[in-house]
Amino acid sequence: MTTFLEPPRLVVHLIHQLDIGGLENGLINLIKHMPPDRYRHAIVCLKDYSEYHAHIKTRGVEIISLNKREGKDWGHYLRLFRALRALQPDLIHTRNLCGIEGQLVAALAGVKLRVHGEHGRDMSDLYGKRLKYKLLRRLLRPLIGHFIAVSADLEHWLIDSVGAEPQKVSQIANGVDSIQFHPRLGPPAAVGPAGFMQDNAFVIGSVGRMDEVKDYGTLVEAFLRLIASPHPAHQRMRLLIVGDGPQRAACLDTLTRAGAAHRAWLPGERTDIAQLLRAMDLFVLPSLAEGSSNTILEAMASGLPVVATAVGGNPVLVHPGFTGILVPPRSPELMAAAIADYCRIPDMGARHGMRARSHVIADHSLPEMARGYLRVYDALTHPHGPCPGPAPHS
């Protein structure tokens, strides 16, 4: 008897913009670790994409930009409808508030299988309680075949606030490439402008999009408090924030006015994130809201202790006294105190960083993340039985 293998199903991923960021890196890693003979992929960007992820095209992934204007751009709905009609995907996977309206457009375009993921909230709705967004999610909920949440916090919110049926919600933890992101094997590389790094420098680092929800102003204020202290250990401190966004100029201005610009380096967007993480001694994330932070996972895989705000999924990733320290959001004095502990007690940072990497390897592998998404896609595309085929790439 001849066996006919069905062609791979097409999944369209609808996102805001394909640029440097945790959600975007997670999407690229997911595509790389899904079995290509079962699923192929296209990425539709509401805005546009940068060259940072353009290499994914070599894997046969089509990237489409809708070039949505700021504010309400009614024309982008028509452009999305036309794109979906041209692609004819088997399944659409939208992400976050910016993409959820795509569920209605997809339904009108005839896309029968629809998944929506929540990766974290933005500044306009930090706690998911804003009435108009809650109503929007509730109105669109019947169109969504399955929800994915990257943290327990978001999973509970989808069930309790949005009204999603528990059996239609899966929590899938983000994964990290623990081969690309690894601890430094020797002395730290001399990064930054001349005079930034010294032999005994203690580099406080962070990576992320510098927008309001990430609250990098609090980290800058904590840093300025520390270097103003007479404690001799604090004079070794340097600040490295990798990323771009509307808050970068304000942070640079604050550092310049304080006379501390020579002790900080804010290089904007970079492609050598793994190498820059290995130049850090401590990773700090001052966010006001998070889902499950990819940058925290990358820092932990790099053997770094983490100071983070106790919001969203951060308390699941950072175990106080074991892999890092949690502080309340918008608390520069408590953040400064946590940073000071690591600067003054180097052995503590080494212990916490080693445990952090072990935790990531055990619980946040990329193949395990891909298996979670594969189970969701398979349950929708093959509702009457399992789909035979290879597992995600190891």
What tens digit of pLDDT does each residue of 185-236 get? 888 878 889 888 887 899 999 999 999 999 999 999 999 999 999 999 999 9
How many other C-beta atoms are found inside a 10 Å radius of the C-beta of residue 145? Answer: 18
The tokens describing 70, both together, are 């700021």
**Interacting residues of 26 by C-beta distance below 8 A, sequence separation 6+:** 119, 174, 175, 294, 369
- Cα first-last separation, the chain: 32
> Domain total for the chain?
2
Domain of 135 in residue numbering reads as: 9-175+365-381
Same domain, 356 and 375: no
What's the rounded Cα separation, in Å, for the pair 274 and 324?
A: 20
Same domain, 369 and 341: no
Same domain, 40 and 85: yes
- pTM (predicted TM-score): 0.89
H/E stretch holding 81 reads helix 75-87
pLDDT at 394 over 60: no
What's the rounded Cα separation, in Å, for the pair 80 and 89?
A: 13
Same domain, 162 and 221: no
pLDDT at 340 over 90: yes
DSSP state of 214: G
Mean pLDDT of 336-353: 96
What's the rounded Cα separation, in Å, for the pair 218 and 226?
A: 12
Q: pLDDT band at residue 35, thresholds of 50, 70 and 90?
A: very high
- pLDDT (tens digit per residue) in 94-107: 999 999 999 999 99
Same domain, 149 and 230: no
What's the rounded Cα separation, in Å, for the pair 101 and 123?
A: 19
Same domain, 161 and 212: no
CATH code of the domain in which 302 resides:
3.40.50.2000
Same domain, 20 and 105: yes
pLDDT reported for residue 84: 98
Lowest-confidence region among 4-8, 205-209, 322-326 = 4-8
- Of 200, 208, 192, which is closest to residue 246 (Cα–Cα)? 208
Residue 84 located in a structural domain: yes
Same domain, 153 and 225: no
- Of 374, 306, 371, 369, which is closest to residue 178 (Cα–Cα)? 369
Residue 35 located in a structural domain: yes
pLDDT reported for residue 3: 45
Same domain, 223 and 126: no
